[in-house]
Amino acid sequence: MSPLTTPEATAAPLTTQELYRELLLRIGEDPTRDGLLDTPERMEKSMAFLTRGYTQNGADVLHGALFDVEYDEMVIVKDIEFFSLCEHHLLPFFGKAHVAYLPKGKVIGLSKLPRLVDVFARRLQVQERLTTQIADAITEAIDPQGVAVILEAQHLCMMMRGVEKQHSATVTSAMRGVFKSQLQTRNEFLSLIRRPGANL
Ligand SMILES: [Zn+2]
C-alpha cells in the first residue's frame, strides 16, 4: 500500500476526519459528493462512541457499588445486551451476556454488571477475551466464591462475508472458582439461563 497521498501527510499528521476522507477515496468513493460530505465527521464520532471503553475501566465503574452482605446464594444477571467490534475486521459482533457469581461477603450493585460488560465491549475485541475480561473484573472487585460468564454473539464479519450461516451464534464461557470446580453450581447456572432454541 502506498503512503497517504494527501500533502498534509508530510507536514502535519492527518486529523481523524482526513483519514476517513482518504479511506473513502481509496475504496473508490467520492468524498465530495453530497451524501458523504459529513461522513468523516460522523465516522469519527461514531468510532469514538463505539470504542469509549478505552477511556473507562472496570474498577471505576464498580466504584461505590460494592456492598458487604451475608447473602451467599447465586447472583445472576442474564440477557445483558452488548455490542462490540471484532478486532480483525472492525465489524460488529453483538448478542447477550449472562453473568453470575457466588458472593463471599460482597456483592455488586446489579445495575453495574451491564455497565461492566459495556466497558469491555466498547473496545476492539475478540469474543473470548471479552468473556474473560468480564469474569476477571468481577473476581478482582469482590473476590467471590466463583464467577461465570457466558456470551452468545453473532459476528457480522462472518455473516456478511458468508463465512457462517446467518443465524448461528458463537458461544464463549469463562468459569472461575466454584463454577469451574463444582458441576452442580455450573449446572444450576446453565439451567437458569437456558431457554428453548438457544444453543447453550
Ligand atoms: Zn472479524
- pLDDT (tens, 9 = 90+) of the chain, 200 residues, equals 455 555 555 678 899 999 999 999 999 999 999 999 999 999 999 999 999 999 999 888 998 899 998 888 999 999 999 999 999 999 999 999 999 999 999 999 999 999 999 999 999 999 999 999 999 999 999 999 999 999 999 999 999 887 767 678 999 999 999 999 999 999 999 999 987 655 55
Centre of ligand 1 to C-alpha 136, Å, is: 23
Active site residue 17: no
Active site residue 157: yes
Centre of ligand 1 to C-alpha 143, Å, is: 33
Residues in the chain: 200
pTM of this prediction? 0.88
Active site residue 152: no
| Pairing mode, strands 75-86 and 124-125 | parallel
Rounded Cα distance between 95 and 115, Å, is 15
Rounded Cα distance between 32 and 9, Å, is 19
Active site residue 167: no
Residue 175 makes CB contacts below 8 A (sequence gap 6+) with: 135, 146, 147, 148, 186
Rounded Cα distance between 77 and 138, Å, is 13
Residue type, 161: R
Active site residue 63: no
C-alpha cell at 166: 446467518
pLDDT at 163: 77
pLDDT at 64: 85
